[in-house]
Structure 1
Amino acid sequence: MALLCAAAGAAVAGLRGAVERGGPLPGLAGQRVTAEITVTGDPARARADPGAAGRRPRPVLLAAEATRVVTGDGGEFVLAGSVLVIVEAERARDWLALLPSTRLRVQARVGRPMPGRAWELAAVLRVAEAGPPVVTAGPSARQRFAGRLRSGLREAAGTLPGDAGALLPALVIGDDSGISPELDEAVQDTGLTHLIVVSGSQVAIVLGLFMGSPGTAARAERRGLAARLGIPLRTTAVLGGVLVLAFVLVCRPEPSVLRAAACAGIALLALATGRRRSLLPALAAAVLVLILLDPALARSLGFLLSVLATGALLTLAPVWALALRRRGVPERPAEALAAAGAAHVVCAPVITVFAAGTSLVAIPCNLLAGLAVAPVIVLGWAAMVLAPLAPGGATALVWVAGWPARWIAAVARTGAELPGAELAWPGGWWGAALLAAVTPAVLVLARRLPRRPWLAACCALLLLVAVLRPPPLVRILTGWPPPDWSLVACDVGQGDALVIAAGAHQALVVDTGPEPAAVDRCLRELDVRHIPLLVLTHFHADHVGGLSGALRGRTVGAIQTSAVRDTPEQAEFVDRVAADAGVPVGVAVPGERRRVGGELSWEVLWPPAGAAAAGLGPNDSSVTLLVRAGPLTVFLPGDLEPPAQERLLAARPGLPPVDVLKVAHHGSAAQHPPLLDRLRPRLALISCGADNRYGHPAPRTLAALEAAGAAVLRTDAQGALAVAATPEGPRGIVRGGGG
């Protein structure tokens, strides 16, 4: 039977690929065409590249089916091929408002899909500089109804402040478009992603409200609204099926939704026919049917995790819950702990394949967040149904649902803020295999712990230390950071984040890198709790993207930025994050001098007054600082390009030689040699990402620095870099302990 199922899946996938590749679209690659398409999914923004500093807004992505194509030479084809439409539109809001089943006419250039998706997509259609979409036929009645419900919930949730307004639609219908990158990262770090993608738990809650608990659904003592209304059993099953279909329509046929709906459908069929229900075969049958209907699900990480988690709840969780009850744990806590632990243990190796690291706080965070899920789902669905009829009533229900939603957001943010929330672990298949091998050993050890109280206490203490990571203890164990550090270049990947000591537990921070987690981790290791001033040299994502991480759990006196607000999207992001944290934002003024404590002072050298009016680009308007940290002199030029470096040297001919140079633009080849000759640094720091696609640092720049007598340290090769002042001059210290 297993071989037969595998053969059927392979045959269907092969036929699907042959159909997509056999149409005319692959042969039109590179040509401009006029295509008539039908939208098959909700439009979405493309994910931002954390290290990219693109000036254009992110394009809109549309899953669609091409039905007719006209080429430039008049050729016409009628077809049915799945396509991905990439839209570069200034008025993206019009495209993002499109509903599935809407028919459009687009002018596009045909491209080939990525190799891994060639069998599921016939082509990629790139629509450049598009105006509003040309709609040839509106969406179907059921999609309009579903869209009205979704928009009603979003509008009602929009009245909630903070995280609750963004999180509520994600929890209820899987619409995570309003979730901020910081909250999204916190949800991922704490293993709560399954709550915002809509899966079996949401289906179970909705059906449970209607039919009662699954264990009593077929009994005389069954509960739920159906029993209270006196609806017969078979009619209850039919209405439950209608409810599941409505759930899929409103929440969209995402992989996890389809898996949950298929399992629920099989269970409802067993209830309607009076047959015995077996959950594990039902899960297997649902998976097989869905794979045969849509082979692309076999490549979906969300679908795989949903199936694995459900299988763990059906097999491991009951056994673990029974074992916990035998050891005196009450029934409800035992079931919740067993469910959270089983799902995490089974899914963790798969997650490791795609994201190195494993969460140490996922189980407790799931237990705490799980307390609030049911109220949010029930109140959210009630508000969504009520919104078209009575918006005021929907707003009231959403206000009540906002409190448990805030709790879930607080659990995610608090868990993610813990220093050891995520344990570093090798990524890829080898890392997954290693984790899968280690997990049984850990489970065997955990099983024996209750018999050895002292061992159990030691393991609990070690786990607590691993999660909290107190800086004094970490410094003793790892030797990082060095006790006499004056400056640290954090390892934030392809970006900049520098920390300059300003006294006990405080520092001047210059740039924050592309990701919040990396800079937050660096500042925690340095035990920085107060930032008198945070300087953002310019508005590129690889310098400002981690701002929320730098602000997390710290007091910040002020933020200072460049006068040139390019790129606008990133400038607005900085304003929003700073406003949410209550931190004032100002503009660096050339010639401005500041001091913190007795040994740290700096002067703003660049950009000149009127930089915005002069048309300086974002790199050439980088805030440039000359810092004096005790006996060290440090030059921080941001991402200045050669023209600006030349103008700076002309405007400041008296620049002194420096001890430490943060090399401009991550060590790119674009450097002005006379400035380097003038500064004559003894130590050069290059902050860039390993194997970055920009070729940083450039061999020519490395050669020029070495020829100038500078010792070169790089974050891509050596990790975080520290500089300490010694009587002989600056001493560089790498994370591994070398000087």
Structure 2
Amino acid sequence: MVGWVLLGALLIGAGFGVASTWHAYRVQTHPLRAVRAGQRLVAVVELADDPKRLGSKPFGGPKVMMRAELLEYRLGGRIVRAGGQVTVLAPASGWKSLLPGQRVEFGARVARPWRADSTVAVLRADAPPLIAGAPAWWQRLAGRVRGDFAASAHRALSDDAAGLLPGLVIGDTSALTEHVQENFQETDLSHLTAVSGANVTILLGAVLVSTRALTLDPRVGVAVAGAALVMFVVLARPSPSVLRAAVMGAIALLALCTGRRKQALPALCAAVIGLLAWSPGLAVDAGFALSVLATAGLIVIAPGWADWLRAHGWWRIPADAFAVAAAAFVVTTPLVIAMTGHLSLVAIVVNMLVEPVIAPITVLGAIGALLACAWSPLAALILHCTSPPLWWLLTVSDRAAALGASVSVPTGLRSGLVAAVVCGLIIVGLRPRAGPAEGADLAARGGPAGVVGADS
């Protein structure tokens, strides 16, 4: 049996190695790589996600950034039809209202990619685009729901809360105020404003609890949860990051529902293999690595730590909350340090303090989003109920950021390896010496709302 497992692992590894080499070769030999940096061309692309604001006052006016699939470009009277992923940097005016799936034509200057991923070039546009094609009907519907949701939030909440709520529910940070964003970065709460496995876990858990309360057949509950998952993916945009979150959230929910890590861990490994086969670019995606690590921490480490805390006198709810926050922090810290050089000394406590309000915000926000396009007064009333938990979340982040309790360390591989060694020693040193081999599941004890720190 072990021999077959090793053979399968070798074959899968070899297959991924060949595929990644071929993919890297195609990126390096893409025709755009031969175009001189700074040269102008006319590009036709299909947008892959929503335009993301880069800041309120960057040099040259407000800018937005978006991923896109290159369809063709014209240079010196020559038309080159080539695929490939590009990053578009453009002025906010004329671009911020575009939808994923929309085809646009625009003039731009070519720049080299910023990261070593599957991006073949950065296209710096300096004027509004020409619309060359409409997005799919479901993208238009999702855009309408997102717009109505944001409008209802602004009618019911303060500016800071209204900008934060769509980010917490569907990852829409277009209206997030700058100082809230800075506070979240300082206190390691930025993962809350990205679509993560926590969102999916909370929503699916709420659907399953509701179907059980209505005494529906379990198979009906599973079907309803599946439909809710598809609707959430469409609303949050079916980008690789959202699909990654959907899979990771489903795996986390499996762990929380079954209480069997022996089933959840192989499922996580299978999900990682499937996602990498579907989207090879995830292999160099930091969010993917953080999501996998945090989910593994929830499955493998957090239950044992929660059991140990309860055995030493902690109440169930704080023990579960602290165990999840601590496990996610420890397993993701090496990668965060390697990428950003930022280490928050209050991250575990802050995540533990805000964790209880994330589930009610997410559930009420999702209900408000669905009602926003049908009956806005009722949606505003539902969203107004999120004011107290949003106030708590904003207050905790603001007070914690004011402490300045963060450390800046050098970025890079060396710092990440040192942090990995330290975190590994912490995990080994805090490993429970006694307890059931399998460990009780957190959800069976009224466990946490989701995976903390799954996306940063």
Give the TM-score of the pair, scaled to structure 2: 0.83
State how far apart, in whole Å, the 2-side matches of 1:395 and 1:99 are.
Answer: 25
- CA shift for structure 1 position 198: 2.2
- The 2-side partners of 1:363 and 1:114 are apart by 31
Of 25, 36, 52, the match for 2:44? 36
Q: Does 1:6 align with 2:9?
A: no
Please name the residue that 1:411 is paired with. Answer: 396
CA contact (8 A) 2:334 2:423 kept: no
Q: Does 1:57 align with 2:54?
A: no
What secondary structure sits across from 2:144 in the alignment?
Answer: helix
Q: Say whether the 8 Å CA contact 1:105–1:136 is kept in structure 2.
A: yes
Q: Is the 8 Å Cα contact of residues 142 and 234 (structure 2) preserved in structure 1? A: yes
Offset at residue 350 of structure 1 (A): 1.4
> How much has 1:426 moved relative to structure 2?
4.5
Aligned position for 2:143: 147
1:143-186 superposed Cα distances (whole Å, 9 cap, x missing partner):
01111111111111223214211211111111122223322222
Structure 2: gaps (5+ residues): 1-7, 433-456
Equivalent-residue separation in structure 1 for 2:200 and 2:115 (angstroms): 35
Larger Rg: 1
Structure 2 residue 176 is matched with structure 1 residue 179: yes
Kept in 1, the 8 Å contact 2:252–2:295? The answer is no
Q: Write the mapping of 1:156-555 to structure 2, written as runs, cut at 5 A.
A: 156-159=152-155, 160-211=157-208, 224-229=209-214, 231-253=216-238, 257-264=242-249, 278-419=263-404, 421-439=405-423
Q: Relative to structure 1, is the Cα distance of residues 364 and 432 closer, same or farther in structure 2, using a 3 angstrom cutoff?
A: same
- Contact kept, 8 Å, 1:205 with 1:377, in 2: the verdict is yes
Q: Distance in 2 between matches of 1:245 and 1:100?
A: 17
In 2, Cα distance between equivalents of 1:115 and 1:351: 16
Does the 8 Å contact 1:267/1:282 carry over to 2? Answer: no
Q: C-alpha separation between the residues in 2 aligned to 1:168 and 1:13?
A: 38
Deviation at 1:34, TM superposition (A): 2.9
How far apart in 1 are the matches of 2:26 and 2:246? 28
Identical aligned pairs, as a percentage?
A: 37
Greater per-residue helix proportion: 2
> 1:284 is aligned with what amino acid?
C
Say which structure, 1 or 2, has more relative contact order (CA 8 Å, 6+ apart): 2
The 1:231/1:141 distance shift into structure 2, 3 A limit, reads farther
Change (3 A) 1:401 1:18: same
| Residue 65 of structure 1: how far off its partner (Å) | 1.3
Describe the superposition over 1:44-78 as per-residue Cα deviations: whole angstroms up to 9, x where unpaired.
Answer: 23358xxxx965114332311122333332x2233
* RMSD, aligned CA: 2.8
In structure 2, the residue corresponding to 1:125 is in which secondary structure? strand
For structure 1, list consecutive stretches of 5 or more residues without a partner in the other structure.
212-223, 449-739
CA contact (8 A) 1:163 1:406 kept: no
For residues 426 and 28 of structure 2, the distance between their equivalents in structure 1, rounded to whole angstroms, comes to 47
Taking the aligned partners of 2:20 and 2:62, their CA distance within structure 1 comes to 32
Residue number in structure 2 paired with 1:453: none
Aligned equivalents of 1:69, 1:424: Cα separation in 2: 42
Comparing 243-252 with 373-382, which one deviates more in the overlay? 243-252
How big is each residue's C-alpha offset from its partner over 1:363-412, in whole Å with a ceiling of 9 and x where there is no partner?
11111101111110011001100001111111111111122111111111
**Which of 320-329 and 236-245 deviates more?**
236-245
Paired amino acid for 1:125: L
Name whichever of 188-197 and 344-353 sits farther off: 188-197
Per-residue CA distance 1:323-375 (angstroms, 9 max, x = gap): 11111222222111111111111111211112324222111111110111111
Is 2:69–2:85's contact at 8 Å kept on the other side of the alignment?
A: yes
Q: Deviations over 1:255-304 (max 9, x none)?
A: 5533331245578999xxxx998111111111111112212212222211
Change (3 A) 1:294 1:116: same
Measured in 2, the distance between the counterparts of 1:188 and 1:266 equals: 27
Q: Secondary structure at the match of 1:104?
A: strand
CA distance in 1, matches of 2:115, 2:305: 43
Residue identity opposite 1:205 in structure 2:
I
TM, length-normalised to structure 1: 0.53
Distance in 2, Cα, partners of 1:388 & 1:162: 21
The code of the aligned residue for 1:145 comes to L
CA distance in 1, matches of 2:46, 2:83: 10
| Contact 2:200/2:250 (8 A) holds in 1 | no
Against the structure 1 CA distance between its residues 93 and 350, is the aligned structure 2 distance closer, same or farther, given a 3 Å change threshold?
Answer: same
CA contact (8 A) 2:350 2:396 kept: yes
**When you count strand as a share of all residues, which structure comes out higher?**
1
AA matched with 1:108: A
